[in-house]
Amino acid sequence: MHIEVTGQGPALVLIHGWALNGGVFAPLAERLSRHFQLHIVDLPGHGHSRDDDTPLALPFVVGEIAAATPPGIWLGWSLGGLFALHGAATLPQVHALAMIAATPRFVRAGDWPHAVEPQVFEQFRQDLASDYRGTLERFLALDTLGSAHARSELLALREMLVARGEPSPQALQQGLHLLERSDLRRALAALRKPSLWIAGQRDRLVPPAGMHDAAALTPASQSVALAGAGHAPFLGQPDEVTRLLRDFAETLQPQQHP
């Protein structure tokens, strides 16, 4: 698995979302590398890890990331939040958790209303088989839908998608399976590590109410919804997200300070 290391300071592991790669964090990396040692992951089947055939399943991927990175904070965006949360719940080396536009369950249920309808993921699954590139384009548009910076964010995501090569169809299907089937809510109440939950107020994929509800189930949590932000707030508001992450790190133990 390809993991880019840059910057100096306490370790911060960044895990990207469905169909993208670690390059999506470029605006954050530019700002955070002065304060953290960043470990920017390309998940199996994505970006520079496109030929890595590790199953895109929580224990396999989390184990590989943990073996290749030092103790620190894990940050997950969208699908990446499932890996980050699983790591925080199961590994002592994950000292704290940051979730951006991510929840423990992405699919709506009777007791979890602030999420996506199951049919959305099923439609993506069918569309991938018939129109791979068109499906990716529609998903990128959903990532930016509602954001006050939608046009510039969409252009950035398109560039990042092709810069490291398109993800493998198998990895995309495995990622959809994770998004459809994962439910990590039981891990929240037992999570004693500090956590930060950053939502986009205009996010159409992960409603901010869902992130608020998840944070409310988690001890030692902070929850923030950024006005004007969509599903990728670190693209449209990188300075604000950087500030939130630095402030969060400063609340941790002195040896973890940036």
- Per-residue pLDDT reduced to its tens digit, 137-176: 888 887 788 877 888 888 888 887 778 888 999 999 999 9
Residue 203 annotated in active site:
yes
pLDDT digits (tens, 9 = 90+) for 172-189: 999 999 999 999 999 999
Q: Are 28 and 6 in contact (CB under 8 A)?
A: no
Q: Are 36 and 10 in contact (CB under 8 A)?
A: yes
Which of 42, 52, 203, 213 is catalytic? The answer is 203
Q: What is the mean pLDDT of residues 77-105?
A: 98
Is the predicted pLDDT of residue 61 greater than 50, yes or no?
yes
For the chain, give every domain's residue range: 3-256
The pTM assigned to this predicted structure is 0.93
Residue 33 annotated in active site:
no
Is the predicted pLDDT of residue 255 greater than 70, yes or no?
no
Q: Which CATH class is domain 3-256?
A: alpha beta
pLDDT higher at 154 or 229: 229
Which of 78, 168, 182, 195 is catalytic? The answer is 78
Residue 114 annotated in active site:
no
**Three-state secondary structure along the chain?**
CCEEEEECCCEEEEECCCCCCHHHHHHHHHHHCCCCEEEEECCCCCHHHCCCCCCCCHHHHHHHHHHHCCCEEEEEECCHHHHHHHHHHHCCCEEEEEEECCCCCCECECCECCCECHHHHHHHHHHHHHCHHHHHHHHHHHHHCCCCCHHHHHHHHHHHHHHCCCCCHHHHHHHHHHHHHCCCCHHHHHCCCCEEEEEECCCCCCCHHHHHHHHHCCCCEEEEEECCCCCCHHHHCHHHHHHHHHHHHHCCCHHHCC
Q: What is the mean pLDDT of residues 98-107?
A: 97
Quote the Cα angle for 210-73-158, to 5°.
65
Whole-number Å distance between alpha carbons of 145 and 156: 14
Q: What is the mean pLDDT of residues 233-240?
A: 94
pLDDT value of position 65: 98
